[in-house]
Amino acid sequence: MKGKIFLLTLILIFFAFNSYALELKSPAFKQGGRIPERYTCDGDDISPPLKWDNVPKGTKSFVIICDDPDAPMGTWVHWVYYDIPATINELPENILPEENPSIGGTQGINDFKKIGYGGPCPPGGTHRYFFKLYALDDMLNLPAGLTKHQVLQRMEGHIIDKAILVGIYSR
């Protein structure tokens, strides 16, 4: 009996100190892998499918920001998508470039000066594209068309967890 209690205690301690962190994946490419041309300016220029697991307790909404820190003129923003309901844990490919997609949430403006997703389109070399998923303890209730900077400012103090999926692309 003592052995079973000891084992049960170890299991409880393990789970208490090893909670699962928010995880972001795509069925289209692996972490650190090449983003298929379909999701770039050389292809259909549509958003890739994304899926997330291990949503933290208390999450009320999600934010997705995709940017390229390797752009020649500084970090280039490809996607700003906020107020994604906490009931959603995946996005299909091709979220339309509209302010309020039918799946839910609100899209901001990217550095192409357009609403929604703008795929990788590097002028040269291999670039890294960071898809960042933030779990928030609140809805932002912001209007459509905001910039990454504006959304990040409003998120301050509301981030519960964050996950990053990195893909690469070169032409």
What per-residue confidence (pLDDT) applies to 8? 43
Would you tell me how many other CB atoms lie within 10 Å of the CB of residue 162?
A: 13
DSSP reduced 3-state for 141: coil
Q: What pLDDT was estimated at residue 98? A: 97
Least confident of 3-12, 30-39, 57-66: 3-12
pLDDT, one tens digit per residue, over 74-101 is: 999 999 999 999 999 999 999 999 999 9
Phi, psi angles (nearest 5°) of residue 142: -105, 155
> How far is C-alpha 2 from the chain's CA centre?
46
Taking the C-alpha atoms of residue 164 and residue 66, their distance in angstroms, rounded to an integer, is 9
13 pLDDT exceeds 80?
no
What is the rounded average pLDDT for all residues in the chain?
Answer: 92
Higher per-residue pLDDT: 3 or 60:
60
What is the second-level CATH architecture of the domain 20-169?
A: Alpha-Beta Complex (3.90)
β partners of residue 163: 133
Cα three-residue angle 154-132-48, rounded to 5 degrees? 125
pLDDT for 156 equals 97
| Pair of tokens at residue 117 | 């997703």
131, 24 contact by CB (below 8 A):
yes
Q: Cα 85 vs. chain centroid, distance in angstroms?
A: 13
Distance CA 25, CA 131 (A): 9
Mean pLDDT of 29-43: 98
Indicate the domain borders of the chain.
20-169
Per-residue pLDDT band for 12 (boundaries 50, 70, 90) equals very low
pLDDT of 125 above 80:
yes
Residue 67 pLDDT greater than 50, yes or no: yes
Give me the sheet containing 50-53, strands edge to edge: 23-25, 50-53, 90-91
